[in-house]
Amino acid sequence: MNSWSQACDWPGRTEFGGWPHTYYLFNAPAISGEEILNKRLSKKWLPLAATIALGVGLVACGDDNGSSSEDTTAAAEATADTTAPADTTAPTDTAAATESSEAAAPAGDWSANFKPWEEGAAPVACGPKDGGALKAAWVYVGPINDGGWTQTHDEARQKVQEHFGDKIETTYKENVPEGEQVSQVIEDLIADGNTVIFGTSFGFQDAFLAAAEKHPDVCFEFATGYKSAGNLSQFYGAAEDTDYLTGMAAGAASKNGKLGYLASFGIPEVVRGINAWTLGVRAMNPDATVKVVWVNSWFDPPNERKQAEALIAAGVDVLGMKGIDSPATGDAAKAKGIPWAGYNRDNSANYGDVWLTGTQYHWDVYEIPRLQQVLDGAWVAGNYYGNIGDGFVGLSTYGDLVSAETRATIDAKKAELAANPGGEFTGPIKDTAGKEQLAAGKQHTYEELMGMQYLVEGVDGEIPAG
Amino acid sequence: MKSPIRLERRLKQPRWLNWAIPFISLLGALIVGAVVLLATGKNPLDVYWRILDRGFLSKRSITGTLRTATPLAFTGMCAAAAFRLGVINIGGEGQLYVGAVGAALVGLWLGGSVPVGITIIVMVVAGMLFGAMYASIVGVLRSQFNTNEIITSLMMNYIAGIILNYLIFNSRSYWRDPRSVGFPSGKPLDERAHWPSYELFGFGVSFGFLIAVVAAIVLWIIYKRSRLGFEIGIIADSPRAARYVGIRTKWTIVAVTAMSGALAGIGGASQVGDFAHYLDAKGLQLNNFGYTGIVVAALARLNPLGAILVAVLLGGLTNAGYSLQGPDFPSGLVGTLQGLILFTAVAGEILTKYRLRANRAASKAVTA
């Protein structure tokens, strides 16, 4: 933590969204070249704003600035090397992934995984009143081209728009910082006539709850939270199942049995991911250990990259991650040429030579039928927890590093988990202290999964403030 | 080769220039912005109307603007107070966090056990004290050891951020909600510790914003009418002269840095009391209030009353900026407009002190 550049990478500074948007000046997310070019053109004036706001920081962080533009160039070149442009590849991959999941398991019905907060509650009438288009808005914590979490949400929004055509008018707000600003953004969206609002960052939850209470005629949909209201739904899915499958690919790829894992926060969602991943690793590589580091942020690419480099220096030969929005870990893996299992988004096109696979969310699986319910006047608030079976979570395209034999093993397990979500947590499971957390033959209940606060045997690390 | 124009110091600075220049700058920004907007296929008039409407015109938007402006007013005054002495305290960010920690501490501790007014006053005072103490570390280092306060105050920001993370994410501290099984979050304050907000002329004004206005007036009086303000002026102009006439330079540096930190500290307290009602470790760090405060101070020319105005302007621009954003209006374009306005405002500043002159060798036609 001594160097200047490290000091410049604390979360408060690198997480953008303040005024003005200084983010891009320092941290160029490594994404596809086309996306960068498109964005860059419209952002060429940004340094003006940034120079004023961070005149001093600029001097201190000059090195960062230089290195991130190198990264950008590298990423752009890497994309140029691949035969097809990333933009055309992505939909094909998604289609392929959907096909394979359909082949592996019969596509389940999303509604089986949705439970209203209150049985028989009256639907909320948040549809268009005057026969016009339904206006729906998405609020993002990151930039829409973050190469991960926010980008998958925005891709889902675009699918929603395509699906409904002119029946729905979608919009979004990106780079919205958590805190008071969210309330302002929600109020502004409602003033614009939006009657369905999607929230995609945990820290927005209180603002969404307050807005839901204030605007009973607006439908609120919130990803990854837990608080409820008559017009506030929660949606998320069993990413631990696909994290397990990703772990299998990672375990098979490790030669020395030492793997590294970047985790955001010590919350149950992430802890489930670490545990499932580790169980997957050890299913393929029984004596392997997984060294976990905490980034304490959802989105902090320079810090993610440094942590990943530190893990590589400590001797791990495969990297994985959970709750991390950007592919910066993949950049570190790529620089050192070691396999990387991603998260959030199919990055097989940009990180082809190191890519294994990763958990991928298909938010539209839930969002499209829910918006249809709004149009039909049948929307009630509740909790949704999707899984592989209904296609809400899935595996990204396999990288070349995953052998045909491993793919077959993973696909078989995938079919099994599609039929039995959470099945990877079947006892006996011991924690890092050797204490039995799950008796032989038992499976965790939904509530136990939601509150998971132990790390399984094989993890090298501990939950902060556990 | 000689440049065709040169800058010449104005012998007199007419008062009207102080008002005219910012408006001309703004006009210039709007014209350049219009070119950018036209180039990207937008109607500039529509865009500017929306900025006005969503930032400044309706009751709802003014209410929102004042809410966004509240922390910026405090951090702006924090920067302005120290900059006037020549102490470049860029630690408003960290001082705001620490103020929030202090206010949350007493807010949680007193809760509803004492009359409402007392809890709120004690929270404000705690925010001030915590911010002041945190900033005075920088002040003492500067005055006793002549440490570069730019570096120390910047470093202290990181430390404050780490303290916030520790209190909420990495420990079971007094500030953390023990019931937050999912995501760690701050313990909510008792409802009686929530700061009030008032309805003035039809729009909502938070208690914090009113304190900011009072603080700005007090600060203005200190700088214009008090002995301390006079001494600060001398120290800023010539520290050696100040020492010769017997001004306690070291003491003043510590006192002013502490005062500057106290202002940011109230800003942090207001985040807890007015808005979040708990210690929001992530939200505080995501908004860059402290760094934006430096912009506020610069645009306000270190005038505390000006800081309030500029904070409201930036608050409105921020809210309007989010309002503009959407699928057909990338956030980069919003940043461009905001950046242009800031840039020309700062660049125009030079014209109050200098005038443009044509270099005779190059051309005789242009005169300013």
The answer, yes or no, to whether residue B345 has pLDDT greater than 90, is no
Chains A–B, number of C-beta pairs less than 8 Å apart: 195
Which residues in chain B touch residue A171, judged by CB atoms under 8 angstroms apart? 326-327
Does residue A188 belong to the interface with chain B, where contact is any CB pair within 8 Å? yes
* pLDDT (mean) for B25-40: 90
Does residue A13 belong to the interface with chain B, where contact is any CB pair within 8 Å? yes
State pLDDT tens for residues A282-329: 999 999 999 999 988 888 889 999 999 999 999 999 999 998 888 999
Residue whose token pair is 């919205």: A176
C-alpha–C-alpha distance, residues A390 and A369, integer Å? 12
Question: Domain A240-360+397-460's class?
Answer: alpha beta
Q: What local confidence, expressed as pLDDT, does residue A261 receive?
A: 96
C-alpha–C-alpha distance, residues B303 and B216, integer Å? 9
C-alpha–C-alpha distance, residues A291 and B141, integer Å? 40
Q: What local confidence, expressed as pLDDT, does residue A198 receive?
A: 97
Q: What local confidence, expressed as pLDDT, does residue A161 receive?
A: 96
Which residues in chain B touch residue A53, judged by CB atoms under 8 angstroms apart? 288, 291-292, 294-295, 342
Binned at pLDDT 50, 70 and 90, residue A465 comes out as low
Scanning A291-350 for CB atoms below 8 A from B yields 296
Three-state secondary-structure class, residue B330: coil
Q: What one-character-per-residue DSSP string does A246-285 give? A: HHHHHHHH-SSSEEEEEES-SSHHHHHHHHHHHHHHHHHS
Mean pLDDT (chain A, rounded): 80
Q: What local confidence, expressed as pLDDT, does residue A5 receive?
A: 31
Q: What one-character-per-residue DSSP string does A54-84 give? A: THHHHHHTHHHHHHHHHHHHHHHHHHHHSSS
Q: What local confidence, expressed as pLDDT, does residue B18 receive?
A: 76
Kindly state the DSSP code that residue B271 receives in the 8-state scheme. I
Tokens of A202: 């945990």
C-alpha–C-alpha distance, residues B171 and B160, integer Å? 15
Please measure the distance between the N-terminal and C-terminal CA atoms of chain B and give it in whole angstroms.
Answer: 21
Nearest to B331 among A21, A22, A141 (CB): A21
Cα atoms in the 13 Å half-sphere on the side-chain side of B116: 6
Nearest to A45 among B182, B289, B339 (CB): B339
- Check if A110-238+364-386 and A240-360+397-460 are the same fold: yes
* pLDDT (mean) for A220-224: 94
Which residues in chain B touch residue A183, judged by CB atoms under 8 angstroms apart? 67
Scanning A430-459 for CB atoms below 8 A from B yields 450-451, 453
- Dihedral, A108, A110, A111, A115 alpha carbons, nearest 10: 120
* pLDDT (mean) for B314-319: 92
Nearest CA in chain A to B97: A12
As its CATH architecture, domain A110-238+364-386 has 3-Layer(aba) Sandwich (3.40)
Binned at pLDDT 50, 70 and 90, residue B301 comes out as confident
Are the Cβ atoms of B286 and A188 closer than 8 angstroms?
no
* pLDDT (mean) for A73-85: 38
Contact A323, A269 (CB under 8 A): yes
Substitution target from A9, A16, A19, A23 for chain B, most B beta carbons within 10 A: A19
The answer, yes or no, to whether residue B282 has pLDDT greater than 90, is no
**Weakest mean pLDDT among A63-77, A158-172, B18-32, B282-296:** A63-77
**Weakest mean pLDDT among A88-97, B215-224, B244-253:** A88-97
Binned at pLDDT 50, 70 and 90, residue B254 comes out as very high
Kindly state the DSSP code that residue B172 receives in the 8-state scheme. -
Does residue A46 belong to the interface with chain B, where contact is any CB pair within 8 Å? yes
Scanning A384-403 for CB atoms below 8 A from B yields none
Task: Give percent above pLDDT 90 in chain B.
Answer: 64
The answer, yes or no, to whether residue B15 has pLDDT greater than 60, is yes
* pLDDT (mean) for B209-238: 94
Nearest to A188 among B162, B292, B319 (CB): B319
The answer, yes or no, to whether residue A99 has pLDDT greater than 50, is no
Substitution target from B291, B334, B343 for chain A, most A beta carbons within 10 A: B291
Q: What local confidence, expressed as pLDDT, does residue A41 receive?
A: 38
Q: What local confidence, expressed as pLDDT, does residue B182 receive?
A: 64
Does residue A6 belong to the interface with chain B, where contact is any CB pair within 8 Å? no
Q: What local confidence, expressed as pLDDT, does residue A466 receive?
A: 46
Q: What local confidence, expressed as pLDDT, does residue B1 receive?
A: 58
Nearest to B322 among A180, A185, A465 (CB): A185
Contact A30, A151 (CB under 8 A): no
C-alpha–C-alpha distance, residues A259 and B62, integer Å? 53
C-alpha–C-alpha distance, residues B197 and B205, integer Å? 6
Task: Give percent above pLDDT 70 in chain A.
Answer: 77
Q: What local confidence, expressed as pLDDT, does residue A42 receive?
A: 39
The answer, yes or no, to whether residue A29 has pLDDT greater than 80, is no
Q: Give percent helix, percent strand, percent coil of chain B, each to the nearest 5.
A: 70, 5, 25
* pLDDT (mean) for B120-145: 96
* pLDDT (mean) for A236-242: 94
Are the Cβ atoms of A18 and B292 closer than 8 angstroms?
yes
The answer, yes or no, to whether residue A240 has pLDDT greater than 90, is yes
Does residue A266 belong to the interface with chain B, where contact is any CB pair within 8 Å? yes
ipTM entry: 0.85
Q: What local confidence, expressed as pLDDT, does residue B360 receive?
A: 67
Does residue A12 belong to the interface with chain B, where contact is any CB pair within 8 Å? yes
C-alpha–C-alpha distance, residues A249 and A397, integer Å? 12
State pLDDT tens for residues A320-361: 999 888 899 999 999 999 999 999 888 888 898 899 999 999
The answer, yes or no, to whether residue B184 has pLDDT greater than 50, is yes
Which residues in chain B touch residue A268, judged by CB atoms under 8 angstroms apart? 181-182
* pLDDT (mean) for B85-107: 96
Residue whose token pair is 């009391």: B273
Q: Could you tell me which residue, B258 or A2, shows the higher pLDDT?
A: B258
Sketch the domain layout of chain A as residue ranges: 4-81, 110-238+364-386, 240-360+397-460
Q: What local confidence, expressed as pLDDT, does residue B24 receive?
A: 86
* pLDDT (mean) for B64-90: 95
Map A188-242 to HEC letters.
Answer: HHHHCCCCEEEECCHHHHHHHHHHHHHCCCCEEEEECCCCCECCEEEEEECHHHH
